[in-house]
C-alpha cells in the first residue's frame, strides 16, 4: 500500500500544479469509455502501462499484442478458455486466429473441476473441435491430460503473507518457454469477475489445483466450502507461481466484449447489459484487471456487473495481488489508436528543444532526491528552443495534456554533470538502432552511429545468397575490413560508460564495428555490449570484442530479439547497477 500512497501523492501534486498554471493544451483522440479518472489511473511515469484499443477485431488484437513489444520465445503457450457449451461467450476462433498464428502458439487449457462438458479430456477435446479452435491453432493442449505437477508460490518480497504456498498445474506447463494470457473479461458467479488473474490461476490449475485455490488450500478434492476471501487471495498466489515458473516471460491481454455477468464456464450466460468496450493489454496483470474494472465502472448499464463484483468482494483479489507484489493497481493507459504525432524533445547545456508540435503541449519536469520524488513542475510549451534551468537526474516528459496523459515522445533524463554515458551502435536493418535509442533515452546518454563508408544494401545483406557481400566477407576473414566514415567520437575521453551494440552475424558481433573498437582507447571506461538477432544468442561474441579492444572494463552483454520492449531494455539497464 506504500506504493499506492506515493502514487496518490504524485497525482495530487500534479493536479494542484495544473490548476495553478491554468494549463490549456489540446486533447488527443479518446473514447468516452475511459476519459474520466476513476482513481487508479495515474500520471506517475513509474506506474505500469496498459494499452487500449476500442476496436475488437482479429487485426486489432494482433496490433495491440505487437504494440507490447513482447518477445515470445521458444514454445509459446496461449492460455484462454475453450468455453462451456452450448452458448457461452468464449473468444471466437476468427477473433484470435491472427494472434495465434503470428506467435505460432499452442492454445492451452485444463479440465474443469465443476463437471460440465469439459471435465474429462475426451469430452473437452470434442468441445475444442466443435468450437473450431483446431482450425486456427497448430494444437490445443489440455495440460492436465497426463496429470499435474506441484509448483511453489514464491515468498512475497513485500513481506505480505500468501494464502497458499504451493499450486498444482497441468503437467504439460513445463513444455512451454513463454506464455500469453488471452482472457475474455466478464463477470463470474464466484470470483465476481474473470480476467487475467483468474485466467492464470483457475485456468492453469489442474482439477486438484482448482480445488486448492477455491478452498484457500484446504482441499485438493473438492472446490466447495472454502472461505471467500481465501479463494480470492489464492488466485493471486497461484498467478504468482505461474509467473515465477516462466521467469516473467508472460504478457496479458483482456478482451472486453460480450460483457455478461456470467463466466465462460456458464453454458447459458445472462445477456450483457453493456456495450463492448475494447481490448486491453499489459505486462502487469493487476493493472490490467484494475483498468478493465475502471472501464466497467464508467460504462452505461453497469449496475448488475458491479453488483456481481461487489457481491463476491471481487476487488479483494486485486488488493491481495498488489500486497504480495504481483503488480500494481495504479496504471497509465495509452490508446494505441490515438493519432501519431512526429514530435521530438532534447535537452543540451541548459536549452530545451521541442519540434513537431501542432499547438501546445504539457511539459512535466519530475525531480528526485536520493531516489525519492522531490517535486513536479508543469508548463505549457510550443515548438522551439528555450533556456531551461534543471538539475542533473531530472526527468522531462512531453504529453498531449495532463488529463489524457498521452506521451508525445520518449522522456529525457537530464545528465547530472557527473559520469557521462555513450551508446555506440551499428544497425543493418534498424533493429539494433531501435534498441540503442531506447537505451539512450532511458539513461540520458549521447548516441553515436557507426556508419560504413559503403553502406550495405538489402542484396549485400542476403545471407542466403552465396554471392552476396556479407557472405563473401564471412568466408574470407582476412578480407573483412570495413571502411568507416569515422571512428572518432567527439569528446570521447569524457565518457565513463559505453554501451556498444550490433547485430549478430554467424554467431559473432558484426565485423562492421571492428575498426571502431580497434581505433579507440577504452581504458578507464565501463563497456557493456549488446546485440540483436532473431535467434542467435550473445555467446562468446562479447568476450571476443573485449579481447579486440584490449582495454576497458567489459561487462557481460545482452541479446535482444527483434521486438525488444522498452520495459525489457529498462529492466536490463537497471540490473547492471551502474546508476
d(C-alpha 579, C-alpha 119), whole Å: 53
Calculate ∠ Cα 385-391-395, nearest 5°. Answer: 75
Per-residue pLDDT at 245: 96
| Closest of 269, 277, 264 to residue 131, by C-alpha | 264
| CA distance between the termini of the chain | 27
> CB atoms < 10 A from the CB of 533, how many?
17
Q: Which three cell numbers stand for residue 145?
A: 491430460
d(C-alpha 222, C-alpha 232), whole Å: 16
CATH number of the domain at 50-335, please? 3.40.50
DSSP state of 452: B
Cα torsion 271, 273, 276, 278 to 10°: value is: -110
In tens digits, what is the pLDDT along the chain, a chain of 579 residues?
A: 333 333 334 443 443 333 333 332 222 223 333 222 345 888 677 889 999 999 999 999 999 999 999 989 999 999 999 999 999 999 999 999 999 999 999 999 999 998 899 999 999 999 999 999 999 999 999 999 999 999 999 999 889 999 999 999 999 999 999 999 999 999 999 999 999 999 999 999 999 999 999 999 999 999 999 999 999 999 999 999 999 999 989 999 999 999 999 999 999 999 999 999 999 999 999 999 999 999 999 999 999 999 999 999 999 999 999 999 999 999 999 999 876 657 888 887 667 889 988 888 999 998 877 767 788 889 999 998 887 777 778 889 888 876 666 788 888 888 766 568 999 999 998 899 999 999 998 888 899 999 999 999 989 888 888 899 989 998 888 878 899 999 999 989 888 899 999 998 888 899 999 999 999 999 999 999 999 887 656 667 778 899 999 899 999 889 998 778 888 999 999 899 885
Three-state secondary structure call for residue 161: coil
- Show Cβ contacts of residue 33 under 8 Å, excluding neighbours closer than 6 positions: 54, 277, 278, 295, 298, 299
CATH number of the domain at 420-575, please? 3.40.50.360
Calculate ∠ Cα 64-65-71, nearest 5°. Answer: 145
**For the chain, where do the domains classified as CATH 3.40.50.360 start and end?**
420-575
- Show Cβ contacts of residue 516 under 8 Å, excluding neighbours closer than 6 positions: 424, 426, 450, 484, 487, 500
Per-residue pLDDT at 241: 98
d(C-alpha 46, C-alpha 52), whole Å: 18
d(C-alpha 113, C-alpha 525), whole Å: 59
- β-strand partners of 378: 364
Amino acid at each position: 500500500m506504500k506504493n499506492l500512497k506515493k502514487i496518490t501523492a504524485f497525482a495530487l501534486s500534479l493536479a494542484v500544479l495544473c490548476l495553478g498554471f491554468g494549463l490549456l493544451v489540446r486533447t488527443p483522440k479518446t473514447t468516452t469509455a475511459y476519459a474520466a479518472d476513476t482513481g487508479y489511473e495515474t500520471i506517475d511515469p513509474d506506474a505500469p502501462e496498459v494499452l487500449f484499443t476500442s476496436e475488437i477485431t482479429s487485426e486489432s488484437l494482433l496490433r495491440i499484442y505487437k504494440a507490447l513489444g513482447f518477445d515470445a520465445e521458444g514454445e509459446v503457450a496461449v492460455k484462454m478458455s475453450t468455453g462451456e457449451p452450448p452458448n457461452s461467450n468464449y473468444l471466437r476462433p476468427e477473433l484470435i486466429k491472427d494472434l495465434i498464428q503470428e506467435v505460432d502458439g499452442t492454445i492451452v487449457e485444463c479440465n474443469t473441476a465443476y463437471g460440465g462438458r469439459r471435465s474429462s479430456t475426451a469430452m473437452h477435446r470434442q468441445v475444442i473441435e466443435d468450437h473450431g479452435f483446431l482450425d486456427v491453432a497448430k494444437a490445443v493442449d489440455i495440460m492436465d491430460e497426463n496429470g499435474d505437477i506441484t509448483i511453489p508460490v514464491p515468498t512475497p518480497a513485500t513481506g505480505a503473507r500468501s494464502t497458499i504456498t504451493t499450486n498444482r498445474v497441468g503437467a504439460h506447463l513445463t513444455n512451454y518457454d513463454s506464455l500469453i494470457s488471452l482472457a475474455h473479461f466478464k463477470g463470474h458467479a464466484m470470483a465476481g469477475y474473470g480476467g487475467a488473474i483468474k485466467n492464470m490461476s483457475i485456468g492453469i490449475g489442474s482439477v486438484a489445483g482448482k480445488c486448492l485455490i477455491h478452498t484457500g488450500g484446504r482441499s485438493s478434492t473438492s472446490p466447495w466450502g472454502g472461505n471467500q476471501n481465501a479463494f480470492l487471495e489464492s488466485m493471486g498466489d497461484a498467478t504468482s507461481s505461474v509467473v515465477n515458473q516462466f521467469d516473467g516471460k508472460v504478457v496479458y491481454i483482456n478482451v472486453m466484449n460480450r460483457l455478461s455477468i456470467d463466466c465462460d464456464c456458464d453454458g447459458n450466460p445472462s445477456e450483457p447489459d453493456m456495450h463492448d468496450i475494447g481490448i486491453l493489454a499489459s505486462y502487469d496483470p493487476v493493472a490490467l484487471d484494475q483498468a478493465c474494472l475502471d472501464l466497467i465502472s464508467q460504462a452505461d448499464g453497469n449496475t448488475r456487473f458491479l453488483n456481481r463484483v461487489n457481491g463476491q468482494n471481487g476487488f479483494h483479489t486485486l488488493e491481495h495481488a498488489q500486497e504480495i507484489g504481483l503488480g500494481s493497481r495504479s496504471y497509465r493507459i495509452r490508446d494505441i489508436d490515438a493519432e501519431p504525432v512526429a514530435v521530438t524533445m532534447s535537452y543540451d547545456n541548459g536549452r530545451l528543444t521541442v519540434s513537431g508540435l501542432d499547438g501546445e503541449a504539457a511539459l512535466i519536469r519530475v525531480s528526485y532526491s536520493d531516489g525519492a520524488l522531490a517535486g513536479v513542475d508543469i508548463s505549457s510549451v510550443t515548438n522551439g528552443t528555450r533556456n531551461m534551468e534543471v538539475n542533473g537526474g531530472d526527468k522531462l516528459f512531453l504529453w498531449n495534456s495532463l488529463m489524457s496523459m498521452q506521451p508525445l515522445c520518449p522522456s529525457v533524463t537530464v545528465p547530472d554533470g557527473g559520469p557521462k554515458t555513450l551508446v555506440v551502435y551499428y544497425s543493418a536493418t534498424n533493429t539494433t538502432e531501435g534498441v540503442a535509442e531506447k537505451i539512450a533515452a532511458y539513461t540520458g546518454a549521447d548516441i553515436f552511429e557507426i556508419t560504413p563508408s559503403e553502406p550495405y544494401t538489402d542484396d549485400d545483406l542476403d545471407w542466403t545468397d552465396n554471392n552476396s557481400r556479407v557472405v563473401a566477407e564471412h568466408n574470407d576473414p582476412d578480407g573483412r575490413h570495413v571502411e568507416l566514415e569515422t571512428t572518432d567520437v567527439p569528446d570521447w575521453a569524457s565518457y565513463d560508460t559505453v554501451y556498444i551494440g550490433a547485430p549478430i552475424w554467424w554467431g559473432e558481433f558484426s565485423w562492421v564495428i571492428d575498426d571502431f573498437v580497434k581505433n579507440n582507447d577504452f581504458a578507464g571506461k565501463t563497456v557493456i555490449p549488446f546485440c540483436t538477432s532473431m535467434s542467435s544468442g550473445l555467446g562468446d561474441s562479447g568476450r571476443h570484442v573485449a579481447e579486440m579492444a584490449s582495454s576497458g572494463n567489459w561487462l557481460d552483454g545482452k541479446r535482444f530479439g527483434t521486438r525488444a520492449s522498452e520495459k525489457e531494455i529498462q529492466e536490463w539497464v537497471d540490473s547492471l547497477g551502474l546508476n
